[in-house]
Amino acid sequence: MSMIEFRNVQKYYGDFHALKDINLEIDKGETVVLIGPSGSGKSTLARTVNGLETIQDGQLIVNGHNIGEKSTNLNLIRKDVGMVFQHFNLYANKDVLENVMLAPRIVLKLNEDENKKRAMALLDQVGLADKAHNMPSQISGGQAQRVAIARSLAMKPRCMLFDEPTSALDPEMIDDVLNVIKYVTSQGDMTSLIVTHEMGFAQEVANRVIFMDQGQILEDEATDKFYNHPTNERARQFLSKIIKH
């Protein structure tokens, strides 16, 4: 059963055609990675899924809701669709624990004891229980990104979007964040859509790989087939430059 379905989706920025006739189905529980050169439309595509970017034509169905309809309550969709950004967007005036507890308190109306217990369990899951009372300014970028992941998971999303979650990190911090994402995507039946330039990670974590260029999906294949036998010439060129043999 589909969690996300794009039907002939078009996205423009003025005259610039950012997403061109996107047709894509992502089933519940799948982990799908979006790759491609910078400016190919990967992040734009991911950001349409929770309404951060609007579409101009076509249909985008997320968990049974049509994103394009004016009557659709985007806040309801965002309860089910978590997002981890390139930059962590933590609240600078709240400690790590409060960052994780805030949305469940306001949106899910969780009582404080249950909320705190869940938040601490999530911080433990991402290896940061000992940083619960640190302020964001007192932790590293990699740790902040792991807090951001815990914060998204605190809403118990059915789907997680990761928009180049390691691109703003120092190289030595990347592995810790990728290991957390690997763990998260391996649990339960959550759907994950990951935009990344980390090709080895994509190969490890994805059920499917989608290759985009110039706003189009040029290849959509099972991970092994894509890496070993890409059929699209542009995808072959991209892989030959990115992956060192």
Ramachandran angles phi, psi of 103, nearest 5°: -65, -45
Residue of 174, 167, 113 lying closest to 146 (CA atoms): 174
Q: According to the model, what pLDDT value does residue 245 have?
A: 46
Flag whether pLDDT at 244 surpasses 70. no
User: If pLDDT is split at 50, 70 and 90, which confidence band does 15 have?
Assistant: very high
| Alpha carbon distance 19, 36 (integer Å) | 13
Delimit the domains of the chain by residue range.
2-41+51-242
Q: What are 128-176's pLDDT values in tens digits?
A: 999 999 999 999 999 999 999 999 999 999 999 999 999 888 888 899 9
pTM of the full predicted structure? Answer: 0.93
**What is the structure's pLDDT at 170?**
86
User: Is pLDDT at 87 greater than 90 in this prediction?
Assistant: no
Q: HSE of 121 in the Cβ direction (CA atoms, 13 Å)?
A: 9
Q: Per-residue b/e over 144-174, b at no fewer than 16 CB within 10 Å?
A: bbbbbbbbbbbbebbbbbbbbbbbebeeebb
Average pLDDT, integer, range 84-101: 94
Beta bridge partners of 32: 193, 208
Residue 78's pLDDT band, with cuts at 50, 70 and 90, is: confident
Task: Select from 147, 104, 157 the least CA-distant residue to 126.
Answer: 147
CATH, range 2-41+51-242: 3.40.50.300
DSSP letters of 96-114? HHHHHHHHHHHTS---HHH
Q: What percent of the chain has pLDDT over 70?
A: 99
Q: What is the pLDDT of residue 167?
A: 87
- Please tell me whether residue 139 adopts helix, strand or coil conformation: coil
pLDDT attached to residue 149: 95
Q: What is the pLDDT of residue 70?
A: 83
Q: What is the pLDDT of residue 74?
A: 86
- Residue 211 scores a pLDDT above 80: yes
Burial class (CB in 10 A: 0-12, 13-18, 19+), 13: exposed
State residue 188's pLDDT score. 74
Q: Could you report the per-residue pLDDT of 131-142, keeping only the tens digit for each?
A: 999 999 999 999
Angle between the 112-125 and 96-106 helix axes, to the nearest 10 degrees? Answer: 130
